[in-house]
Amino acid sequence: MTEHQIQTYLWENRERWEELIDYIEFPEKYSFDKDDEAIYERTPEKVLFNEIVDRYSRLYNNLFGLRLFGCEVPLKREGDSTIRADLLGLIEGVSGVAIVEIKKSAQTERQAFTELFAYASHLQAIFPTMTNEDIHYILISPMQERIVREAAISSFLFDEKPVFAYIPTYENDDVNTIRLKPWIPTITDIIKITESAFSQKNFEIFKVTWDEIEDWNAKKHENPSDYMIERMNRISSYATQLMESKRIHGFVFTSQGYPELPYLNNAITLAGLNPFKIAKDNYLITENNISPHKLDEISDDEIKLTQIIPELLNKVKEANEQNEFFYDLVSTWDNTLCGIAFETIKTMTTNDKGLKFERGWGGMTWKQYQGIMLEDALCFNYDIKPTGLIRKLFISYSVEDYKYMEKFGTEKHPYLNHGDVPDFMVDYINQQIYFRDFLYNIFESYKDIYEEFDKD
């Protein structure tokens, strides 16, 4: 049986598409409020697993309503090379176009997402301003390759794309017996992604300061007014929008130095997960079996790009290993944060008086930043605004926290046991104290435990 035969069969049987799909029971979600100790079992991968189960079950139910309208559709513009969508369709009651890619073997499925995303790019050129929800990515494939499974999960979690996969099953290689079995990620699949991503050292920090401005800063021995705080929060809101538009997973906040100190600066601090540092950690964990809590011991300049992309040695005629290309990628990524910070301050301090403001800046990791009192403690820190996957995780954690507190109060909660928690989440989600507790809980707490084990 060939991929083309599967494609033809699905097209010819498009009116009975829903009959070809296997019914499945989705795995049970993790509960963090089944008793007063369950909250201690909560981990990022379990929270994300719950998120995947919720979204996959919605997609699964929606896809019974897939209606195919094109088979082997050439997507081509004049002068461009032709790419073909195996099947195109739409989903009843759901906005957008569904792209179906069929791969029969583990060898061919490696190219699946390259082709799916190429089709999607062409559709976005035809229909400008399409959102992530306007294109559904449907892969019919064995899902045997780790890189394919990780690509599906990463696209689903980090890019928030509606990605769904079916595993084709059949008897005696007979296309007439084909069934489509939904593929659901396991918690192990998710751990492989989260254990490399979640580390405070992988957060790049870029901070920009600018001069005191009349009516912007508090006077000595006074706290900033509500209007001053609101103004600074509007600045971070603008930067948050820019970070979201670039799909940066992190957070942003503004601050002002205490007026009693000699340097009364306004400041904006941006944090983003460096994808190249995450790639390094993923390589060390999966290929070298390095424990996540020991990743800090290996510096970025010890890693070569050919280790991260081994195809450079296996598939190309020549590769240059002499230069520190990987270190260059790691060390220059914060230029993106730098650009957002400077654009934000330039835009937000635009005025009709011709005023210009002296600016200073610097970069470091979030772990380093928190250890510098002058930077992080001797100032008024305002609302903190998360972006991307960090935002989704924080919201999920916070909802679970409120569900737990409704049942059991705060006495046994791992980081809200002080009891000083607002009644409504609207007053909770942008406050520094709660967000920082959340960050420590998902990024560092388990490392401290393992380090204690190592000492013993």
Q: How far is CA 303 from CA 322, 331, 363, 368, in A?
A: 12, 13, 22, 22
For residue 269, what pLDDT band results from cuts at 50, 70 and 90? very high
Under a CB-based contact definition with an 8 Å cutoff, are residues 22 and 2 in contact?
no
Burial readout 147-186 (b: 16 or more C-beta within 10 A, e: otherwise): ebbbbbbbbbbbebbbbbbbbbeeeeeeeeebebebbbbe
pLDDT category of residue 292 using cuts at 50, 70 and 90: confident
Mean pLDDT of 230-239: 96
Query: What is the C-alpha separation between 226 and 212, in angstroms, rounded?
Result: 17
Q: What is the pLDDT of residues 78-90, one digit of tens each?
A: 545 567 888 999 9
pLDDT of res. 318: 55
Q: Is the pTM value of this prediction over 0.95?
A: no
Distance of CA 244 to the CA centre of its chain: 10
Mean pLDDT, the chain, rounded, equals: 87
The per-residue pLDDT for range 372-387, each reduced to its tens digit, is 877 788 889 999 999 9
Report the candidate in 135, 148, 157, 163 with the shortest Cα–Cα distance to residue 109: 148
Least confident range of 35-49, 104-118, 242-256, 301-315: 301-315
Beta-carbon contacts of 330 under 8 Å, excluding residues fewer than 6 positions away, are 274, 276, 277, 280, 300
Q: Which helix (H) or strand (E) holds 266?
A: strand 266-273
Tell me the per-residue pLDDT of 95-108, one tens digit each, with 9 for 90 and over: 889 999 999 887 78
